[in-house]
Amino acid sequence: MRKVLISGAGIAGTTLAYWLRRHGFAPTVVERAPAPRTGGHAVDIRGTALGVVDRMGVLDRLRELRTDMRGMSFVNGEGKTLVKVTDHTLTGGLTDSEDVEILRDDLTDTLASAAQDGVEYVYGNWITGISQRTDGVRVAFALGEARDFDLVIGADGQHSAVRSLAFGAEKEFSHYMDTYLAVFTVPNFLDLDRWQTFHMTPGKLAGLYSARKNTEARAVLGFQSPELDFDRHDLEQQRKLIADRFAGQGWEVPRLLHEMASSELYFDSMTQIRMDRFTEGRVALVGDAGYGPSPLSGQGTSLALVGAYVLAGSLAVSGDHRAAFAFYEREMRPFVLKNQALAAMNQKNQTRFRQWKQIQSMRILPYLPFRDRLMKSAMRPVTEAANALALKYY
């Protein structure tokens, strides 16, 4: 039985562990966090990715956990509603689609529950060295002795340690998209009922949406900026950076900043990972580690789910990892490129004029007799990209 080490217990890592075990491999998942990560933003499962979770037998459960948003509002600094729509939301697209919008930790919990039998999980440790040989890989860890594996897979996100060790420095592959995003959990103090509310000022966006059947809410603070230098592991430094950026803002921003001080925090740049290859010897990358499209695309989760399924299937049908990795590259690259292109398209809409234009368009949209066609047309690039790969059976 071939032993595969997966770095990262997120969406890509747990999905890959599930399918590798199904195909007869012995997967080990190492995760730097001391326990499964909580918090984070709502994510979307679309198109081909729906087929992956359906074949895992968890689609019905994910539909039960979906955010089930009814619509969204944009407000001014005094909280007065500028526009209110019920046919789509900023985070999830069309409200009547088959797509599943779900909190990230609800998704990872469900995937990890499905990927328990026959999978070894090691929390609170991480890879510090990778030494490839013709017959395997010797892996060094921050804690404990080195271990031998047949293959190593980096599913460790935008700041992948596996990618740095096997492919090169992060700066060679990361393309910053001019925006930072913070997400954290707060009480549902506005009593939102499956609703999103946003306040937009030049270069900044503050928002709140209800979660888990309105029992809590997730706050969103995003801002445009030149690339910043900060410590990714220093949460207090990050909180101060965000608070300084949003000082003096109206609406509920002061309350959000107050809640942020005692909440877990996700904060990072909107960055796209672009690589000319996803594999190197006996090492491969999956999900954000190899082809993160950035949150601006809305397709990072779907790429991770599909990539994990294809990689596991490729290894299952080939006894040679080199042939399997080559097939994985051929299958995934066109799909990756189509979905990464969505981020560049959405990045163009971040200018002050385009944001103003979007709000004006939303104001008149409910009164247009052909609004359904307009919305479907606006979503067509996402729909086409999300369905650009047909799932095979392995």
- Over residues 110-163, the pLDDT tens digits come to 999 999 999 999 999 999 999 999 999 999 999 999 999 999 999 999 999 999
Is residue 386 within 8 Å of 304, Cβ to Cβ? no
What 3-state DSSP class applies to 52? helix
> How would you class 119 by CB atoms within 10 Å of its CB: exposed for 0-12, middle for 13-18, buried for 19 or more?
buried
Residue with tokens 């990358």: 285
User: For residue 185, what are the contacts with CB-CB under 8 A and spacing of at least 6?
Assistant: 39, 211, 216, 217, 218, 219, 263, 264
Question: What angle in degrees, to the nearest 10, is found between the helix axes of 235-246 and 253-260?
Answer: 170
CA 386/CA 338 separation, integer angstroms: 8
Residue 9 has pLDDT above 70, yes or no: yes
Q: What percent of the chain has pLDDT over 90?
A: 84
Beta partners for residue 43, in sequence order = 102
Instruction: Supply φ then ψ for residue 124, to 5 degrees.
Output: 75, 25
Contact (CB, 8 A) for 331 and 307:
no
Please say if the pLDDT value at position 370 is more than 90: no
Q: Which of 122-136, 228-242, 364-378 has the lowest mean pLDDT?
A: 364-378
pLDDT over 80 (residue 377)? no
Cα distance between the two ends of the chain:
18
Distance separating alpha carbons of residues 88 and 86, to the nearest angstrom: 6
349 pLDDT above the threshold of 60: no
**pLDDT mean over 5-31:** 98
How many other C-beta atoms can be found within 10 angstroms of the C-beta atom of residue 54?
14
57-84 average pLDDT score: 95
* pLDDT-based confidence at residue 387 (cuts at 50, 70, 90): very high
**Those residues with Cβ within 8 angstroms of residue 154's Cβ, 6 or more apart along the chain or in another chain:** 7, 8, 160, 161, 162, 163, 166, 283, 284, 285, 286, 289, 290
Average pLDDT over residues 389-393: 96
Q: Give the C-alpha separation, 93 to 298, whole Å.
A: 9
Residue 379 pLDDT > 80? no
Strands (E), the chain: 3-7, 26-31, 42-45, 71-75, 81-85, 88-89, 93-94, 100-103, 120-123, 127-133, 136-141, 147-149, 151-154, 174-186, 195-201, 204-211, 216-224, 265-273, 279-280, 283-285
Tokens representing 293 are 């499209």
Which H or E element spans position 251? none
Q: Is 227 exposed, middle or buried (0-12, 13-18, 19+ CB in 10 A)?
A: exposed
pLDDT, position 353: 45
DSSP state of 116: -
CA distance 20 to 151: 12
If you search the block for the tokens 């609703």, which residue do you land on?
195
pLDDT at position 83, please? 87
In the block, tokens 């046919």 appear at 87
Percent of the chain with pLDDT over 70: 92
- ∠ CA 190-194-199, nearest 5°, is 55
- pLDDT score of 354: 55
The C-alpha angle with vertex 351 and arms to 365 and 338, in degrees rounded to 5, equals 80
Q: Which amino acid is at 299?
A: Q
